Amino acid sequence: MADKGSGGSRLPLALPPASQGCSSGGSGSSAGGSGNPRPPRNLQGLLQMAITAGSQEPDPPPEPMSEERRQWLQEAMSAAFRGQREEVEQMKNCLRVLSQATPAMAGEAELATDQQEREGALELLADLCENMDNAADFCQLSGMHLLVGRYLEAGAAGLRWRAAQLIGTCSQNVAAIQEQVLGLGALRKLLRLLDRDSCDTVRVKALFAISCLVREQEAGLLQFLRLDGFSVLMRAMQQQVQKLKVKSAFLLQNLLVGHPEHKGTLCSMGMVQQLVALVRTEHSPFHEHVLGALCSLVTDFPQGVRECREPELGLEELLRHRCQLLQQHEEYQEELEFCEKLLQTCFSSPTDDSMDR
């Protein structure tokens, strides 16, 4: 559905239609074709073109560049710089929409149009900020301040989840942006959304942003620990939303593999007992990730092994029964491997008395 223009010219460019309601969504497209290469639209595209050309011609002959080739290259460079400037202008226009106050005394139709424009602006920004140069420019334009300060706590769920998604898109794998986002206090707000928001899509997108801020980011992980993030993650795994459960367990497993020094903290929180309780629930593909996290927790960690051996947990019997169920199902082979590894690690090793603390 195309945006309907509201009174006055609020936005000098056409925003893409925004998806409606509290539902997840993503946008992005790529164009390709045969024939002569099209000039790239930005610097990142120009760099990719150069890399591709270099890989195709590893040893080009040292001959002068033809006039036609020179002209094409000049046009490509000009188009790249022009495309980058155009995208910055698009981001500025989106930020103008997002910076405006909500219309006072507006009717229901006007408020709906206003929200649709804001959602469209957030979606366009998410698409543009897939490009790391644009993500950096967005932060220089104070866009992140606006997202964290206003939109993570917006009244409309469609604005909250799009803000969380945009924060994650900008932050992933870019240390400078991660540091800015953490400095603005975004992690506390994102954890609150994950833990308490009434909209499942908001919670899933908040988890995505959290993951982008704590994986391979020491400062983010320290904040996560101070804010009791592991407890929030465990509560997310106990929800009925499958996507939320799977992604929470996957993040927990990733953090355990990358930061084994926190295994003691997790054991002291009763994480072993809670993970085993999750494995006892009705079987689902989610169990693969729970068992993977449990494997990570006991690997090279005697305290975790001891807790798994507690008789009241009944883990050995549970794992042997699960192995019997899974052996006839090829689609559960990875879960079966985790069960077998846990049996080997926890129940085929020396007794507890012979293990070092």
252-303 pLDDT, tens digit each: 999 999 999 999 999 999 999 999 999 999 988 889 999 999 999 999 999 9
**Percent of the chain surpassing pLDDT 90:** 63
**CA 285 to CA 336: how far, in whole Å?**
12
In this predicted structure, the answer to whether residue 8 has a pLDDT above a threshold of 50 is: no
Position 243 scores a pLDDT of 92
**CA 119 to CA 156: how far, in whole Å?**
10
Query: What CA–CA distances, in Å, run from 103 to 6, 110, 205, 298?
Result: 12, 8, 27, 56
**CA 354 to CA 302: how far, in whole Å?**
10
Position 63 scores a pLDDT of 63
Kindly report, residue by residue over 242-253, the tens digit of the pLDDT. Answer: 999 999 999 999
Q: Which two tokens stand for residue 32?
A: 């390709």
Q: Are 76 and 46 in contact (CB under 8 A)?
A: yes
**CA 277 to CA 254: how far, in whole Å?**
20
In this predicted structure, the answer to whether residue 307 has a pLDDT above a threshold of 70 is: yes
**pTM metric for this prediction:** 0.75
Q: Which has the minimum average pLDDT: 48-52, 79-83, 105-109, 235-239?
A: 79-83
- Nearest Cα to Cα of residue 152 among 144, 164, 168: 164
Q: Are 90 and 129 in contact (CB under 8 A)?
A: no
Q: Which residues contact 65 (CB under 8 A, 6 or more apart)?
A: 73
Q: Which two tokens stand for residue 247?
A: 């992604």
The SS3 call for residue 118 is: helix
Kindly report, residue by residue over 143-164, the tens digit of the pLDDT. Answer: 999 999 999 999 899 999 999 9
Place of tokens 């929030």: 232
**CA 91 to CA 27: how far, in whole Å?**
16
Position 216 scores a pLDDT of 84
In this predicted structure, the answer to whether residue 33 has a pLDDT above a threshold of 90 is: no
DSSP 227: T
The SS3 call for residue 105 is: coil
Position 124 scores a pLDDT of 94
CA atoms within 13 A on the CB side of 20: 5
Position 173 scores a pLDDT of 86
**CA 79 to CA 42: how far, in whole Å?**
7
**CA 243 to CA 261: how far, in whole Å?**
28
**CA 151 to CA 167: how far, in whole Å?**
11
Confidence of residue 58 (pLDDT cuts 50, 70, 90): low
The SS3 call for residue 106 is: coil
Q: Which two tokens stand for residue 259?
A: 């930061």
Query: What CA–CA distances, in Å, run from 229 to 26, 93, 96, 147, 208?
Result: 26, 36, 34, 21, 14
- Comparison of pLDDT for 141 and 72, the residue scoring more: 141
**CA 120 to CA 106: how far, in whole Å?**
20
CA atoms within 13 A on the CB side of 134: 28
Kindly report, residue by residue over 106-147, the tens digit of the pLDDT. Answer: 788 888 888 999 999 999 999 999 999 999 999 999 999 999
CA 152 centroid distance within chain:
15
Q: Are 323 and 291 in contact (CB under 8 A)?
A: no
